[in-house]
Structure 1
Amino acid sequence: MLNSLKQTGKNVGRELSRALESVSEGWRELLSRSSNALTQFTNHKNDDHSSSSELATFPRWSLLAGELEETRKDVLVRVELPGMNKEDCQISIVGNVLYLSGEKHFERETHDSTYHVMERAYGAFERAIPLPSNVSIDKAEASFKNGVLTVRLPKEGGNKTQSIKVS
């Protein structure tokens, strides 16, 4: 019986170790893949939809999940902006960095309710997305559909190849 108890203890220890390793691996992957998507939201003084005390109870950080895709001709940036309208965001490009800023407004249907879960962040934000290539800003296009902002940035120089003679 003592051996059986020892074996059970070893099995529990091994399974607990596996579970902790799995959780640890999940956190490492989340941080490595999504750390740039983690965006801080701050209170905006001109928000007339809510008081600053209401916003203080909401999370200050949220994920703005995105994709950066490079084709032969373009760089495509897609960012999920749930609960926002196209008028709520601005895009600028400085050097090889695309800056996305905006504000997510808090709207409440009634003021006599109690929140039991608060996982959505509200307020002003800015996210910087490094671009892998030089882009032609003059030919950039942006669209917003179903809560996803898509920015198409043609690469400078297109797909031209040039050989340089070594002298």
Structure 2
Amino acid sequence: MSTYSLFPNRLFNLADALLGERRDTTSPALWVPAADASEDETSYLVALELPGVNPTDVKVVVRDNVLTISGERTAVTPAEGSKNHISERVFGSFQRRFTLPKNADGGNVTAEFKNGVLLTSIPKREEVKPKEIEIKVA
């Protein structure tokens, strides 16, 4: 599983971009939920599209300055005797990893599930300003 750096490196994994529109839906390992990453004055924000995913099946973890969002979308079993004519939805496990900037406060991350979108907010730590040290003359 690849790890993306939110900021300042904005180069995303080419394979994910190429597989975004036309992926093999019979292989659940290829499901990569779409993500948006942004920031405002006080925090970094990551939104992950998770339609059809039960919020209790999602984990958000920060370890070693890496935000990992993982979970599973379970397949719906068709009614007995029914036939599928089209099956385009993808099911199975997923995992997205994002390297956080140095000033991200990974200990105070919040996450909210709203309308099939997981909204994760990572507060920014206050910038430590340089302090001039007075030199005492003996």
Q: Normalising by structure 1, report the TM-score.
A: 0.59
Which of the pair is proportionally richer in helix? 1
Q: Deviations over 1:124-163 (max 9, x none)?
A: 222212223432233211100000001111112x2x3513
Percent sequence identity over matched residues? 31
Counterparts in 2 of 1:100 and 1:73: CA distance versus 1, 3 Å: same
- Aligned runs of 1:105-116 on 2, under 5 Å? 105-116=74-85
Counterparts in 2 of 1:149 and 1:36: CA distance versus 1, 3 Å: farther
Q: Deviations over 1:95-117 (max 9, x none)?
A: 22111111111112403222232
Matched, 1:67 2:49: no
Contact (CA 8 Å) 2:37, 2:45: kept in 1 or not?
yes
Aligned with 1:152 (options 121, 127, 130): 121
Counterparts in 2 of 1:133 and 1:63: CA distance versus 1, 3 Å: same
Q: 2-side partners of 1:100 and 1:153: how far apart?
A: 13
Q: Which one has more relative contact order, counting CA pairs under 8 Å at least 6 apart?
A: 2
Aligned-pair Cα RMSD in Å = 3.0
Structure 2 residue ranges without an equivalent (≥5): 1-11
Contact (CA 8 Å) 2:31, 2:93: kept in 1 or not?
no
Q: 2-side partners of 1:74 and 1:36: how far apart?
A: 30
Counterparts in 2 of 1:74 and 1:31: CA distance versus 1, 3 Å: closer
Which of the pair is proportionally richer in strand? 2
Match of 2:51 in 1: 82
Matched, 1:124 2:106: no
Match of 2:5 in 1: none
Q: 1-side partners of 2:46 and 2:19: how far apart?
A: 13
Structure 1 residue ranges without an equivalent (≥5): 1-29, 39-56
Contact (CA 8 Å) 1:62, 1:120: kept in 2 or not?
no
Deviation at 1:59, TM superposition (A): 3.2
Q: In structure 2, give the amino acid aligned to 1:92.
A: V
Q: 1-side partners of 2:122 and 2:50: how far apart?
A: 19
How many residues end up aligned between the 2 structures?
118
Q: In structure 2, give the amino acid aligned to 1:105.
A: T
Match of 1:143 in 2: 112
